[in-house]
Amino acid sequence: MLRKKLLVTLLVVIAGITVWVSPVTAVQLPFVQDIAIYSRLLRQVQENSLNSACIQLDGRCLFKLAATDNELLSDRIREIQERFGEVTAEYLANRDREIEVTISPNGNLQDLYLTISEQLNQEGDTSPEFNAPLEEACDAQDCSSLRSERLFTVTDIDARANDVGVPVRARQLQLTIERGLETARQERSHQYLRKQIITGLCVFASILLVNFPLNRGVKKLRRLAKELAPSANLKTLSVADQLTRRQKWNLIEIQYRLLQLVQVFMWCGGSLFILTLYPQTRIIPYLLIAALRIPFRVSIVALIVYLLIRWTYFLIAKLSSAAIASQTADLKINQRGKLRINTTTRIIRSAVTIAWVGVGILAAFWVNGVNLAPLLTGAGIFGLGLSLASQNLIKDAINGFIIIWDDRYAVGDIVDIGAVSGLVENINLRITQLRDAEGRLITVPNSVIEIVANRSSQWSRADINIPVAYQTDIDRALGVIDRVAQAITKDPQWQERIWEFPNILGIEQFSDRGILIRVWIKTEPLQQWDVAREFRRRVKIAFDRAGIPIPVPQQQILIDNQKTFSNLEQN
């Protein structure tokens, strides 16, 4: 409910701001094509291609010039920008000065001149006449501080880039510069600046207003994400509960990051928008976009990849939960299916992460203008060389896939692999990690795994040998054991762990400990040791009550006394 309110509030505020400020600031916002042209000036382009770049006035692209050579275009733009900046700064610094754009023929080309003057009337006061042509004003009045500066030459390439002739292009540029200078002077009026300051304050207040509910939502989602994040306590839950919790965590993580992204874009976009309101600061967004365009693109790609990974984790957890819910109610089959689904989920998450990261790296190169064809070719050759040099890794991956496909073991099983044994804590396409009885983490490459003894696949068995003395009535002892078996299977605490009635096999062997009676108990996976311990405890109590001793290991030595005396007499 809170997220819906936040979304509705955000959309309403953004729509209101857009409707209110768009008529005021539409002429001030930088065009996307100007940003692209400005960026194009800073990167290498193909030789003999027609490139264009902007001459800026107050951070706005006033007009474009073209060239076939990128270096010549850069030098030309820099020189013209310096001259144009000096003249316009002098013109805009004093409202008593006027400026005129004139065209002078230069062979087949046209030169543009900027002429600036300070007009004085006959009484020595500044003339308010602003739009009068400079020649007519100087004929009627005195002109002082006259300055004429050649701005640039309109070339054939400039004209061809706009599909017109040189004279027509020169006239277009003359009118464009005149309108731009007039707009720049109007934007420096006190009335205009007051209006823009009010607009900037309203935008800032709107950002603060929207930020309050967003900030509360971010804090709430951060707290929920920390509570649901994977921890040591997660292993105590069932597989279904683990998947459900992981599903919720990934969904909340996506929402949390998206709200953070909205906050970042709101503050950054609002700040850049406010900077574009004023002619003195309008150049800053252009410089920031040009300087940070590569890190910005890489950051956007990284964020998208992160969200895609989290969204894929959410879908994997959801599908895994649905698979567990659709299983049969038979506990014997259900438990094994849960372990297998949990293991498969881990493998799929690892593979998906690697795949999305690889796609993200290629996308980061692509959005920054890198040709992917030679990169993919080089990656293929490198991968071929790496595969030849790392055959063991390939064997690990193939054998790991076969282990998972054949369901030899899963996370949570207790297995014997060669000379090592323990609880399977982690398995992927490369390694299997076991935790032995002493708490050591044993890592086994999948390529060396051949024979596996799984002690918890489908079901387990408690194999118990019970010694009784040779002089004991064996039928009476078997009856006591049978009564213990009946009692433990009826106990609510143990009847769910014992899947079948204990199988009392009878006398197994005669040993130095006495007569060994063997009992098999089929149990829930991984419960055989607990059941065996409890069964032995109950048998000991029952034997004590029945007066049946449990013998200790003993050895009988027989001595021939007559032969011993004969040996002593001979000595």
pLDDT tens digits, 323-332: 777 766 555 5
Average pLDDT, integer, range 533-558? 84
309 by Cβ neighbours in 10 Å (0-12 / 13-18 / 19+) ranks as buried
Per-residue pLDDT reduced to its tens digit, 96-137: 788 888 888 888 888 898 887 765 544 444 444 433 444 444
Tens of pLDDT along 450-508?
888 888 877 888 999 999 988 888 999 999 999 999 999 989 889 888 888 899 998 98
* Residue 257 clears pLDDT 70, i.e. is over it: yes
How many angstroms separate the Cα of 438 from the Cα of each of 17, 341, 412, 449, 452? 66, 28, 17, 22, 20
Mean pLDDT of 200-215: 90
| pLDDT of res. 125 | 46
User: What is the pTM assigned to this prediction?
Assistant: 0.54
Count of other CB atoms within 10 angstroms of residue 393: 16
User: In this model, does residue 189 exceed pLDDT 70?
Assistant: yes
Higher pLDDT pick, 535 / 297: 535
Judge whether residue 253 has pLDDT over 50. Answer: yes
Distance CA 231, CA 250 (A): 14
pLDDT of residue 234: 65
**Which residues pair with residue 65 across a beta bridge?**
53
- Where helices occur in 26-69 by DSSP H, the ranges are 32-41
Q: Which residue has the higher pLDDT, 435 or 20?
A: 435
The arrangement of strands across the sheet holding 420-427 comes to: 441-445, 431-435, 420-427, 414-417, 452-454
Tell me the pLDDT tens digit for each residue of 45-59.
444 467 888 888 887
Please report, rounded to a whole number, the percentage of residues in the chain having pLDDT higher than 70.
77
Among 138-152, 165-179, 479-493, where is mean pLDDT lowest? 138-152
Q: What's residue 175's pLDDT?
A: 92
Exposed/middle/buried for residue 340 (C-beta within 10 Å: 0-12, 13-18, 19+): buried
Q: Given this model, what pLDDT does residue 9 score?
A: 45
How many C-beta atoms lie closer than 10 Å to residue 498's C-beta? Answer: 23
Across the chain, mean pLDDT equals 78
Is the predicted pLDDT of residue 11 greater than 60, yes or no?
no
pLDDT for the residue numbered 13? 40
